[in-house]
Amino acid sequence: MEKFSNFTGLVAPINRPNVDTDAIIPKQFLKSIKRTGFGPNLFDEWRYLDKGEPGMPCEDRPLNPDFVLNQTRYQGASILLARDNFGCGSSREHAPWAILDFGFRAVIAPSFADIFYNNCFKNGILPIVLNDTVVNDLFQKVGETPGFELAVDLEGQSIQLPDGGSISFELDTYKKFCLQNGLDEIGQTLEMKEKIQSFEKKHQDSNPWVFEELVL
């Protein structure tokens, strides 16, 4: 997993509550477990005017001109601004895979579905919880200001605004450590590889009978 570093990014708004994971990445795209290649199908049913299928090239598909991510002003966005209960629905990890593959590194919302929230940290995405008043203000500023950018400071747990103001956010210390070091549970386990191998050798030496082949 890529380490999360401080960055400044263009903000794109998804101004609707209860965006579920089937909207984020529809069920027909869940056949692959490669973690990559899902970006073109992020919000597939909202972005395109036809029905998307696995393996279908997206370059020539008809775009929905009314969908926010198809608008020129939001091209290249890396921060997604959302509403309450973002990522609800099924627990599919493909949802954060698609968000990351599209280019988003942070998602800001008043609340997230629990499983989606935790899956973000496992895939190098920073989900930031801010209260409704702050989020409403950000939606207004994004709408009024083409090219609206925010600077995300993970170490300082703050967001820098273009006018010089800042917004602080809370974050679990353990989850913060994982993002900063690019570690999920498997990565942390692999950091203990030598100790694990040492334990396994001692266990085998002291209990050789456990490792003998069973002869029937």
In a domain, residue 216? The reply is no
| CATH label of the domain that carries residue 168 | 3.20.19.10
Q: 114-122 vs 173-181: helix axis angle to the nearest 10?
A: 40
Single pTM value for the model: 0.87
For 46-86, how does the pLDDT look when each residue is reduced to its tens digit (9 = 90+)? 999 999 999 999 999 999 999 999 999 999 999 999 999 99
Which residue in the block uniquely carries the two structure tokens 């998602």? 107
Q: Which residues contact 132 (CB under 8 A, 6 or more apart)?
A: 84, 110
Taking CA atoms, 40 is separated from 45, 67, 121, 210, in Å, by 11, 14, 22, 50
Cβ contact 108:128 at 8 Å = yes
Q: What is the mean pLDDT of residues 26-49?
A: 94
Residue 216's pLDDT is: 55
Give the length of the chain: 216
In a domain, residue 121? The reply is yes
In a domain, residue 2? The reply is no
For 139-158, how does the pLDDT look when each residue is reduced to its tens digit (9 = 90+)? 999 999 999 999 999 999 99
In a domain, residue 190? The reply is no
pLDDT for 192 beyond 80: no
In a domain, residue 161? The reply is yes
Q: Which residues contact 106 (CB under 8 A, 6 or more apart)?
A: 9, 78, 79, 80, 125, 126, 127, 128, 152
The values of phi and psi at residue 200, to 5°, are -65, -40
In a domain, residue 66? The reply is yes
Give the count of alpha carbons within 13 A of 180, CB side only.
12
What's the DSSP call for residue 155? T
In a domain, residue 176? The reply is yes
pLDDT for 196 beyond 80: no
Q: CA-to-CA distance for 123 and 207, rounded, in angstroms?
A: 39
pLDDT for 215 beyond 60: no
In a domain, residue 198? The reply is no
Total of domains in the chain: 1
Range of the domain at 33: 7-183
Q: Percent of the chain at pLDDT above 70? A: 95
